[in-house]
Amino acid sequence: MFGIKSSKPVVGLDIGSHGIKAVELNIRHKAGRDAYSVARIGYQPLPHEAIVEGQIIDAPAVAEAIRSVCDKAKISNKDVAVSISGNSVIIKKISLPAMGSDELAESIIWEAKHNIPYPYEETNVDYVVLKSHGEASAGTEILLVAVKKEKVAAFANLIGQARKNLVAIEVDAFALANALEINYPEEVAEQTVALVNMGATVTTIVISDRGTPQLFRDLSLGGSLFIESLRKDLNVGLEEAEALLRGRPSKTVEAFQVDAVLSMNTRSLIDEVEKTFSFFQAEDKRENRIERILLGGGLANLRTISAAFEQKFSVKTTLFDPFRRVHYNEKKLTSEYYQEMAPFFGVATGLATRQREK
Ligand SMILES: Nc1ncnc2c1ncn2[C@@H]1O[C@H](COP(=O)(O)OP(=O)(O)OP(=O)(O)O)[C@@H](O)[C@H]1O
Ligand SMILES: [Mg+2]
């Protein structure tokens, strides 16, 4: 997206507000398909409030965490791809009549100026052509992506401080769409699939309909809201709230109290997700309903959340596994990341697939 396309391997670096995830893949072209395997992988939690609402508050601490995650995972490749999410990213779908590439580039600029609520000069704009369903004469559907330049600059500075080379900036939603396509090819080709990636402060929704990603959305929701509620309602500290969210037993509060707070928060998160699902289904009077839900991000590890989604939407819901079609050697790599933390790595894995591009 916003960067030099690279044919060399890149490290997918997902700088979340709760923790940094790093993935490096080996990609081999076998029998007309790409075969992926994880070469190196790492996770490093971030100090509380080092990143707040997508803003890098404590850049030295985040840069140190980036260096540390790479050192611990023995990642020597300095070329990294990062992604941006939340309200500094704007993704808009537009329809344009069929036209040549020069004309298209001009139209994109015009559309960007009219569709993006920030001055055009202050934003980096890029676009992706969606596979069109109809005939060529019916025109093209384009995803317009805009990120504020100051946001891109902040990430570039950060990566410089961490002494890495920034080769690409993506948006979380597109990285997730990559990871979805690679790992669930049959489901993506045949069904309408919703991937809901629930992090600490951002929940990203990607809906793919019969092989084409049709909707990308970031909601300002995630595990941090659950933690705040636990702290306030049960009068516990940050560490204890984090432990309660992870299902650890407590000496100070009763399990039923914890369950009540968690289910209330789960309900409000699902209600917001439902609004996005309804928007998708209403758009273009779509006939296909969501047939499969995949849950990723750290919050997907909340034990009751899959069942809550399944109950609400009456749709098969499972954890999103970014290593489903990516070979993971548990003997060589940290097996915890494979067994317990796989849902955390969707964005980083999607970013690491960029090395395919030339
Ligand atoms: N076992 C668990 N059960 C429930 N929630 C968990 C568990 N482990 C981690 N979490 C929560 O998941 C969130 C972190 O997930 P993730 O790493 O995907 O977020 P992030 O990418 O750092 O954040 P951002 O939203 O800024 O992108 C935190 O809110 C954390 O409390
Ligand atoms: Mg995240």
Q: Distance (Å, rounded) from C-alpha 324 to C-alpha 175?
A: 16
The string of pLDDT tens digits covering residues 43-61 is 999 999 999 988 999 999 9
Please, what is the end-to-end C-alpha distance for the chain in angstroms? 13
Candidates 13, 14, 18: which one to mutate for ligand 1, based on the most atoms within 8 Å of Cβ?
18
199 Cβ inside 6 Å of ligand 1? yes
- Higher pLDDT: 293 or 356? It is 293
> What is the residue with the minimal CA distance to atom 1 of ligand 1?
246
Bridge partners, 29 (sequence order): 34
- What is the rounded average pLDDT of the residues 235-255? 95
pLDDT of residue 170: 92
237 pLDDT higher than 70: yes
Place of tokens 């995972």: 73
- Higher pLDDT: 182 or 98? It is 182
Domains 1-87+149-184+324-358 and 186-319 share a fold: yes
Strand 140-148 versus strand 123-130 pairing type: antiparallel
Give the distance (Å) from ligand 2 centre to CA of residue 260: 26
Q: Distance (Å, rounded) from C-alpha 297 to C-alpha 305?
A: 12
Q: Distance (Å, rounded) from C-alpha 259 to C-alpha 266?
A: 10
Residue 304: φ, ψ to 5°: -90, -5
Give the distance (Å) from ligand 1 centre to CA of residue 300: 8
- Under the banding of pLDDT at 50, 70 and 90, the label for residue 3 is low
Name 285's Cβ contacts closer than 8 Å, sequence gap at least 6: none
Strand 292-296 versus strand 192-198 pairing type: parallel
Q: Distance (Å, rounded) from C-alpha 297 to C-alpha 14?
A: 11
Give the distance (Å) from ligand 2 centre to CA of residue 17: 7
CA distances in angstroms from 207 to 149, 174, 289, listed in the order given: 27, 11, 11
- Under the banding of pLDDT at 50, 70 and 90, the label for residue 333 is very high
CA distances in angstroms from 294 to 158, 192, 280, listed in the order given: 32, 11, 16
Q: Distance (Å, rounded) from C-alpha 224 to C-alpha 242?
A: 9
Give the distance (Å) from ligand 2 centre to CA of residue 222: 9
Name 295's Cβ contacts closer than 8 Å, sequence gap at least 6: 196, 197, 198, 305, 306, 309, 317, 318, 319, 320, 343
> What is the residue with the minimal CA distance to atom 31 of ligand 1?
223
> What is the residue with the minimal CA distance to atom 15 of ligand 1?
298
Give the number of the atom of ligand 1 that is nearest the alpha carbon of residue 245: 4
CATH class for domain 1-87+149-184+324-358? Answer: alpha beta
pLDDT above 70: percentage of residues in the chain: 94
202 Cβ inside 6 Å of ligand 1? yes
Closest CA to 77 of 25, 35, 155, 36: 25
- 186-319: CATH number: 3.30.420.40
The string of pLDDT tens digits covering residues 81-104 is 999 998 888 998 888 888 888 888
Residue 226 near residue 299, CB atoms below 8 Å: yes
> What 3-state class would DSSP assign to 146?
strand
Burial level of 27, CB count in 10 A (0-12/13-18/19+)?
middle
Name 210's Cβ contacts closer than 8 Å, sequence gap at least 6: 189, 190, 191, 192, 288
CA distances in angstroms from 333 to 39, 72, 252, 337, listed in the order given: 8, 12, 37, 8
Q: 10 Å Cβ neighbour count for 167?
A: 20
Residue 146 near residue 108, CB atoms below 8 Å: no
pTM of the entire predicted model: 0.94
Buried b (16+ CB within 10 A) or exposed e, 111-132: bbeeebeeeeeebbbbbbeeee
> Structural domain boundaries of the chain?
1-87+149-184+324-358, 186-319
Q: Which amino acid makes up residue 115?
A: N
